[in-house]
Structure 1
Amino acid sequence: MQLASVGVMRPALANPAISQPALSQGGTPILPVSISSGLSCVPFARMATGMNISGDARMWWHNAAGAYARGNMPERGSVLAFTASGGMSRGHVAVVSRVVNARTIHIDHANWAGPGIRRGAVMRGVVVIDVSDRNDWTAVRVQVGHNDDAFGRTYSTHGFIYNRPARGGERMMEARIRGFEEVAEGAPSPHVAQHLRRTAELFAE
């Protein structure tokens, strides 16, 4: 899908009268992915995070329920899950590589076409801005091509899937249109231990 370049101003922070979630400075490391082309977004997200979530990108949010924590606050190493739309019927997933501020993040992802970018290419450090009314990241615009001052149309998202298990004692808060509600919890993901081992190896190198 080729996107037209649309210059936009970066959004200001949301209305201070509306309660805003605190920015997370934590998160999890992103695993190295040596492949730079010929990938769709799902296998790239799996390789970069170690997450074991099945299905097309449009199914990740629902399939992660009970295995991975989910919410509407960005953190490094989490996966931003886009909803399916007319021009993106299979949805999209992208890995958060940096949280810049309450309205801006950088993502690493694959198979997002644009000016000078081929289908299947891996792009890193792509700017995404939150344009939702309540700063809950349910509506975003993504950098077009290599120009970090131009953004495409508004896309709807479910939120962020965190690279940690959803389990008792770790209650996540998910921003909604009418405030916050608790996300259901379930059994830990069997893939978490593998990711933690790989993370420890990376820090030891």
Structure 2
Amino acid sequence: MMSRPGFLPVLASALVLTLASPPAQAQEPLLQCVPYARQVSGIQIYGDAHSWWQQAAGRYERGRRPVPGAVMAFKPHGAMQLGHVAAVSRIIDSRRVLLDHANWSPINGRKGQIERDVLAEDVSAANDWSEVRVWYTPIGGLGTTRYPVHGFIYPQGRAPSRLQTPPVQIAANDQRPRALSGAERKAQRQAERRAEKDARKQLKQVEKQRREYAKYLKKQQDARRETVRLTPPPPPPPHLQPDPIGDLIGKIGG
């Protein structure tokens, strides 16, 4: 199929911009923390993360005690102006839990990635989980920033008052917390499949663009070589061109 005139140069310019962009922007769909927390917890709250705490009032129980499946609601802090939400996957002890969340650490230079079972530590003076430090993958440890936290939003039926055993005792006995429901597991699998499908689609598009751009560069290079081959050499400058009369005058001395 013939390309429209001017199509390849326009495509080349667009691809140069695309390929010069950071990989997170060019190749991967960015998964925000809110839809991921909603999918893994089953808490049906929408809007920016910083609004979840207020939206949960009167709809879901809230508290200061971490529970597997609850959502930790972060307050806006520094560059994190929209707040953050993360689902508690396991209780380790009274000061440490594991989180499942998205769009926290850049992984391999890409934002919007999912992290599972990462450490969060309560650093509040009263052990009320009002301040935490969270695992940051680029440094391989807990960051130094102390993030303020509203508290925990509990899914239906998972409030601390309805637990049969304390979370710390569950961890001490090395028992797993209550398994996710069938609907929650289904939502989690669907989210993972969608993320993988989107990532594969984006990768295929980028690879296609790379191949087309490589073909365009090769055609440009071949065209330049052909132009050089067919173009006669330029004439020498005037002072180097043959001048028989001048040479004769020089020999006979005028």
TM-score bracket, normalised by the shorter chain, equals 0.5 to 0.7
Asked if residue 161 in structure 1 is aligned to residue 138 in structure 2, the reply is no
Change over 3 Å in CA distance of 1:140–1:65 after alignment to 2: same
Does the Cα contact within 8 Å between 2:41 and 2:184 map onto a contact in 1? no
User: C-alpha displacement at 1:165, in angstroms?
Assistant: 6.5
Does the Cα contact within 8 Å between 1:78 and 1:95 map onto a contact in 2? yes
Match of 1:100 among 83, 92, 98: 92
User: C-alpha displacement at 1:51, in angstroms?
Assistant: 1.1
Higher strand share: 1
**Residue-pair matches, total:** 142
User: C-alpha displacement at 1:149, in angstroms?
Assistant: 3.6
Alignment match, 1:27 = none
Does the Cα contact within 8 Å between 1:66 and 1:166 map onto a contact in 2? no
1:74 is aligned with what amino acid? P
Alignment match, 2:183 = 198
Change over 3 Å in CA distance of 1:199–1:154 after alignment to 2: closer
* Distance in 1 between residues matched to 2:75 and 2:109, nearest whole Å: 22
Summarize the alignment of residues 1-205 of structure 1 with structure 2, pairs less than 5 Å apart: 38-114=30-106, 116=108, 118-145=110-137, 149-164=141-156, 198=183
4+ long deviations beyond 6 Å: none
Q: Secondary structure at the match of 1:80?
A: strand
Q: How does the TM-score come out when normalised to structure 1?
A: 0.61
Larger RCO: Structure 1 or Structure 2 (Cα < 8 Å, ≥ 6 residues apart)?
1
| Structure 1, unpaired ranges of 5+ | 1-35, 172-194
Higher helix share: 2
* Distance in 2 between residues matched to 1:50 and 1:158, nearest whole Å: 19
User: C-alpha displacement at 1:116, in angstroms?
Assistant: 3.6
* Distance in 2 between residues matched to 1:68 and 1:130, nearest whole Å: 23
Q: Secondary structure at the match of 2:61?
A: strand
* Distance in 1 between residues matched to 2:158 and 2:88, nearest whole Å: 19
Mean Cα deviation higher: 104-113 or 158-167: 158-167
* Distance in 1 between residues matched to 2:55 and 2:61, nearest whole Å: 11
Q: Structure 1 vs Structure 2: percent identity of aligned residues?
A: 42
Change over 3 Å in CA distance of 1:196–1:150 after alignment to 2: closer
Change over 3 Å in CA distance of 1:153–1:67 after alignment to 2: same
1:107 is aligned with what amino acid? L
User: C-alpha displacement at 1:141, in angstroms?
Assistant: 0.5
Q: Which is higher, the Rg of structure 1 or of structure 2? A: 2
Does the Cα contact within 8 Å between 2:105 and 2:138 map onto a contact in 1? no
| Structure 2, unpaired ranges of 5+ | 1-27, 163-179, 188-254
* Distance in 1 between residues matched to 2:185 and 2:82, nearest whole Å: 34
1:118-173 CA-partner distances (Å, limit 9, x unpaired): 21100111100000000000000011116654323110000000012699xx79xx
Does the Cα contact within 8 Å between 2:67 and 2:158 map onto a contact in 1? no
